[in-house]
Amino acid sequence: MAEKGSAADPLPALIGLLRESYGEIAWWPGGPEEVMIGAILTQQTKWENVERALDNLNVLDCCSLEGVLSLSLSELEEAIRCTGFFRIKSQRLRALSMAVRDVGGRSVLEKMSLSELREWLLSLHGVGPETADSILCYALNRPSYVIDAYTERICGCAGIPEKGAALKARFEEVLVPENKEYRLCHAWCVEYAKDYCGAKRCNECIVKNLNE
């Protein structure tokens, strides 16, 4: 499906290039609550470390919001120690878990409008825009595009200057407003950044100066 945009707009071209390069990919597996936990754990660390922490929680049979609350603080900290900043993240996981429980559970969240739910998430301790949009997009299947450092870096190389909320709005303007499209496009950006940016293959970058 062609992306919306003018001929002078590099974003549709970037999305098309990433679509052609990566196509249908499965990304961020797991049930809704595991994804919510992962969205906190992935802050300032590599995904491999998050997977180790999730495995630790699964071994304890506590990879759920109620499971997080069933652990003592020291048990939770030890399980997620491999993700770094484990004391801060333990507090954030407990805050998220208690907030979901206090509001009435995921079934209540699913009845909220997208704007109401995003505002609620952003009101929680340790939940910023990237974490909120990750939960919305990958855990709750809402059409809310995720902007992270990888995406900003790739877009900068492609001649797209916007960042943060402005860049999120640009993607949501260009993409078909469907959760699957948002999931895929964000996954493409992450995979591209891992393949090129993380590997320092800047001389091979195929999105650099895409608008020229």
* Confidence category of residue 144, pLDDT binned at 50, 70, 90: very high
Handedness of CA 197, 202, 206, 212 (dihedral sign): positive
pLDDT tens digits, residue range 147-201? 999 999 999 999 999 999 999 999 999 999 999 999 999 999 999 998 988 778 8
Any idea where the domains of the chain sit in the sequence?
Answer: 10-26+145-204, 32-139
Extract the tokens encoding 192. 């591209």
**Residue 4 — very low, low, confident or very high, per pLDDT cuts 50/70/90?**
low
The whole-number pLDDT of residue 202 equals: 83
Task: Report the SS3 class of residue 19.
Answer: helix
Enumerate residues 6+ apart whose C-beta is below 8 A from 50.
Answer: 38, 41, 42, 83
> To the nearest whole percent, how much of the chain has pLDDT over 70?
95
Fold (topology level) of 32-139: Endonuclease III; domain 1 (1.10.340)
Three-state DSSP class for residue 175: coil
